[in-house]
Chain A
């Protein structure tokens, strides 16, 4: 009832509080004076009348309080005074305030930064109109991939099925015609290849998203400059040499100049015209990874020729699955309807295009539909694990800050005991005292939160930068709401107990001069002890995490790679298709490059390969030995390499031979397989001399197992073929084994390349070790963060232990004095104190161990070479913590042991 009237009245009080207070005063005054006047009329003296009137009116202040309460503003008025009082108290101890606000700012800031990143990557929808209408298509197949070549995201489910969101071009064509329930369906390459782009003679490496002609209309993205890509751009393979550039690229390459439209960029030496600029909010269909350019699918032969490597090389090839398909549903269409409208056409086209004899059961290829409001999920899955761990770590840091602050507040409340006692004695309610104490904590929390918000804003791009993600982090009201919420939560957490403690003040003893009471002291010590246990527990969790990640990093870096990464210099090189049209010319050029670079003093040997080692790239193909009665459809990893590959990267040849100069375009095709492949497919026979894949590729050697894609993966069954005999690609990574510091060779190599072709850019120069380090960013980030915060936690816990033990000892000075007077030995006293610290530490370590064990399952998949319940790590962390605890309590313990009984007995 009457909510509006009430609210209006309440608001009036809030806004005009001061004026209304004065009016209240005047009203009461008028009442008393009028009554006094009437009493005087009955014959009382003025003084007597006023006195009588006041008495009959009752307690003026109490009634005024009741008046405030009846309009619902008493609480407000009290809050105001609590705030003022709290601010004054905090101002009186600036040291404490600064420490508290800073530690909170650190905790809250870290949480804010990580949350804003997590939100952007994991929760935000794409910034396009009606993202909820977008759908991503996906398929699942029971068993190994049924198509010849599959790129993009591929996953094996637990049941052994293969699932991916990549489709072939013919499938996309059919889907886009059969989608009656879709406004439109667009396709884009399920990968973002790097190309060499040169603007005004300056060459650099940028990434390109190949998209179908209706990509921009499907996502309903409006370009900010020029025009979008149109279906008419994407018609003839090799045609449509236009590009829409990203807002970021427009900024750093063209300084936001309108003249960028119509400008020519040479992409892999083919001139491309810039026709438009994408809006800053749209960084492509993958959150967290934005390309610099969008180009039509028809440009695939120039941008990413490797897609159709080893196949017919035409978009019509149904065996090559490389396109992600995204559709925009018509309003009111359901997923079920959408799927039904596509399934028929899909089954038909799969049957006619996947004709390889290897798979008869392609009808079991099942089409699926998924929400597409957040774009493609691949990156999300990769990052969500990382972000989850980071969230836990920063959460622990905040908890640590809270525990530390609660400790400080407890110490403060001990010194404010007299103040509480006085207030209680003159009639304050205990709940009011509690509110006062909580208000002070909340002031601290909100100050810390405000500072944390600033810190978080400044650090919001830190994690994405460390992990090399380019997505801009959106810092919006949701992040601020989160920061506000965790600030309040933190305030309750660290302020709650001291506030409750304040209400339990014993007025009687609190007012006494010494303030030394047994009961109050004990309960404070109990709270303090539990806080110390919490601190030790958090330290334990962080230290175990640090140990696990450090050991993982160590294991990864020292794992056997199967090749020699020392003194290996890597660089990428791409031959422009316009100048090197034929395979013969490309092979000749690569051979010349090899000779030229090999001649540089300081270079021992040089080679090249299709895939750089441990660079996250790989390709698999089928490997079917000839002459088997029952082909088994085996897959093997394949790298196309130059001669001298094995001696340059240091993979040992175990049997037979490696490639040499006698293997040429015209000689019989040869291959080297690794031990793992040899053991798997030729268990009882000598593979050397055998042929496979009906192409009469002859196995001439067996080499050692070497890791291929990343350090975590055991060496896969791999075979190597010679570039000269399988010249398909026009780009490769060169590997040069140096006898000097590899970095010093960069200039000489550049000159050598230039002496053959002035226009040829070499890109991405790095050592093999740097290449490997690049794949360990996440592990290094975790190891750094957990060990950094672990040490901080350790420090705070040791201060906490020191504090609580010093407090206990000073409280027990009397008792210890008596004990010593009665003949206790120094060692005995020492042991008493240390024993307590020992139990505290042990309790924290025990609880921490349980918590860590429960949480370590979270990170199981991120560890390498050890189990999450690794006993060495746990034991090391526990030993360290107990040792630190004992060391921290050594000083108070020694002080206790040195107590002079005479002095101590007079102490009281």
Chain B
């Protein structure tokens, strides 16, 4: 457990959008998928997932629908809306630019200045 890292502030929304973009998921499924993709390296406070889901739905980026889960139980499935897809796209782009910028700053050596 020691190698797990805490989520960066403000990235949970992006991760949820990404997780849902791969196919409709219920809340617990979102959690599992994020953990699965990250190779169990991200620590997400389980309960805090839901306010984020509700916020995203409130903003119209994801939509929800009640359906049947794998074990034949009623569950609420979230899927990405068209708006959400655009949002995910722009967020990803922003993140990549940011990441490469930060990376290039950190790579800088004294000779380069």
Residues of A within 8 A of B (CB): 1-2, 4-6, 9-10, 23, 26-28, 30-31, 33-35, 37, 56-60, 62-63, 66-67, 69-72
Task: Tell whether, in the assembled complex, residue B46 and residue A57 are in contact, meaning their CB atoms are under 8 Å apart.
Answer: yes
List the count of A-B residue pairs having beta carbons below 8 Å apart.
Answer: 77
> What distance in Å separates the Cβ of B27 from its nearest Cβ neighbour in chain A?
5
Give 11 A-B contacts (CB < 8 Å), ordered by A residue. A5-B59, A9-B60, A27-B50, A28-B50, A30-B76, A31-B50, A35-B28, A37-B71, A57-B47, A67-B50, A72-B58
- With A30-B69, A30-B74, A71-B55 known as contacts, the answer to whether A63 contacts B50 (CB < 8 A) is yes
Is B33's CB within 8 Å of the partner chain A?
no
Is B75's CB within 8 Å of the partner chain A?
yes
Top 9 A-B residue pairs of the complex, sorted by shortest distance between their CB atoms: A5-B60, A58-B47, A70-B55, A66-B51, A63-B47, A71-B58, A34-B28, A70-B54, A67-B54
Chain A residue contacts of B71, Cβ below 8 A: 34, 37
Task: Tell whether, in the assembled complex, residue B58 and residue A9 are in contact, meaning their CB atoms are under 8 Å apart.
Answer: yes
Q: Which of B51-109 contact A (CB under 8 A)?
A: 51-52, 54-55, 57-60, 66, 69, 71, 73-76, 83
Task: Tell me the bound Cα distance from A34 to B71 in angstroms.
Answer: 9
Is B45's CB within 8 Å of the partner chain A?
yes
Task: Tell whether, in the assembled complex, residue B60 and residue A2 are in contact, meaning their CB atoms are under 8 Å apart.
Answer: yes
**A60 nearest in chain B by CB position:** B47
- With A10-B58, A30-B28, A31-B27 known as contacts, the answer to whether A58 contacts B46 (CB < 8 A) is yes
Task: Tell me the bound Cα distance from A37 to B70 in angstroms.
Answer: 12
Task: Tell whether, in the assembled complex, residue B60 and residue A70 are in contact, meaning their CB atoms are under 8 Å apart.
Answer: no
B59, B69, B71: most-surrounded residue (chain A CB, <10 A): B59
Task: Tell me the bound Cα distance from A60 to B46 in angstroms.
Answer: 10
Given A23-B66, A30-B74, A31-B28, 10 further pairs, Cβ under 8 A: A9-B58, A27-B27, A27-B75, A35-B28, A58-B45, A60-B47, A63-B48, A66-B48, A67-B51, A70-B52
**A1 nearest in chain B by CB position:** B59
Task: Tell me the bound Cα distance from A27 to B78 in angstroms.
Answer: 12
Task: Tell me the bound Cα distance from A46 to B28 in angstroms.
Answer: 18
Chain B residue contacts of A66, Cβ below 8 A: 48, 50-51
Is B18's CB within 8 Å of the partner chain A?
no
Task: Tell whether, in the assembled complex, residue B51 and residue A6 are in contact, meaning their CB atoms are under 8 Å apart.
Answer: no
Chain A residue contacts of B54, Cβ below 8 A: 67, 70-71
> What distance in Å separates the Cβ of A664 from its nearest Cβ neighbour in chain B?
99
Task: Tell whether, in the assembled complex, residue A2 and residue B59 are in contact, meaning their CB atoms are under 8 Å apart.
Answer: yes
Chain B residue contacts of A28, Cβ below 8 A: 50
> What distance in Å separates the Cβ of A886 from its nearest Cβ neighbour in chain B?
62
Task: Tell whether, in the assembled complex, residue A30 and residue B58 are in contact, meaning their CB atoms are under 8 Å apart.
Answer: no
Task: Tell me the bound Cα distance from A67 to B58 in angstroms.
Answer: 10
**A8 nearest in chain B by CB position:** B60
Chain A residue contacts of B76, Cβ below 8 A: 23, 26-27, 30
B51, B54, B69: most-surrounded residue (chain A CB, <10 A): B54
Task: Tell me the bound Cα distance from A897 to B44 in angstroms.
Answer: 70
Among A9, A34, A58, point to the contact of B57 (Cβ < 8 A). Answer: A9
Task: Tell whether, in the assembled complex, residue B26 and residue A30 are in contact, meaning their CB atoms are under 8 Å apart.
Answer: yes
Task: Tell me the bound Cα distance from A6 to B59 in angstroms.
Answer: 5
- With A9-B58, A70-B55 known as contacts, the answer to whether A26 contacts B74 (CB < 8 A) is yes
Determine the main DSSP class of A at the interface with B: helix
Task: Tell whether, in the assembled complex, residue A6 and residue B60 are in contact, meaning their CB atoms are under 8 Å apart.
Answer: yes
Chain B residue contacts of A67, Cβ below 8 A: 50-51, 54
Task: Tell me the bound Cα distance from A483 to B85 in angstroms.
Answer: 49
> What distance in Å separates the Cβ of A150 from its nearest Cβ neighbour in chain B?
72
Chain B residue contacts of A56, Cβ below 8 A: 46
Task: Tell me the bound Cα distance from A442 to B83 in angstroms.
Answer: 41
Chain B residue contacts of A33, Cβ below 8 A: 73
**B73 nearest in chain A by CB position:** A30
> What distance in Å separates the Cβ of B28 from its nearest Cβ neighbour in chain A?
4
Among A30, A34, A70, point to the contact of B51 (Cβ < 8 A). Answer: A70
Task: Tell whether, in the assembled complex, residue B60 and residue A63 are in contact, meaning their CB atoms are under 8 Å apart.
Answer: no
Task: Tell me the bound Cα distance from A1 to B48 in angstroms.
Answer: 24
> What distance in Å separates the Cβ of B87 from its nearest Cβ neighbour in chain A?
10
- With A6-B59, A9-B60, A30-B28 known as contacts, the answer to whether A35 contacts B46 (CB < 8 A) is yes
Chain B residue contacts of A35, Cβ below 8 A: 28, 46
Task: Tell me the bound Cα distance from A34 to B70 in angstroms.
Answer: 10
Task: Tell me the bound Cα distance from A513 to B27 in angstroms.
Answer: 49
**A9 nearest in chain B by CB position:** B58
Chain B residue contacts of A71, Cβ below 8 A: 54-55, 57-58
Task: Tell me the bound Cα distance from A62 to B46 in angstroms.
Answer: 13
**B56 nearest in chain A by CB position:** A70
Chain B residue contacts of A34, Cβ below 8 A: 28, 69, 71
Q: Which of B32-51 contact A (CB under 8 A)?
A: 45-48, 50-51
Chain B residue contacts of A10, Cβ below 8 A: 58
Task: Tell me the bound Cα distance from A336 to B50 in angstroms.
Answer: 68
Task: Tell me the bound Cα distance from A69 to B71 in angstroms.
Answer: 31
**A6 nearest in chain B by CB position:** B58
Task: Tell me the bound Cα distance from A789 to B76 in angstroms.
Answer: 64
Task: Tell whether, in the assembled complex, residue B46 and residue A31 are in contact, meaning their CB atoms are under 8 Å apart.
Answer: yes
**B57 nearest in chain A by CB position:** A9
Task: Tell me the bound Cα distance from A37 to B75 in angstroms.
Answer: 15
> What distance in Å separates the Cβ of A822 from its nearest Cβ neighbour in chain B?
64
- The digit string for B12-40, where 1 denotes a CB below 8 A from any CB of A, is 00000000000000111001000000000
> What distance in Å separates the Cβ of B98 from its nearest Cβ neighbour in chain A?
21
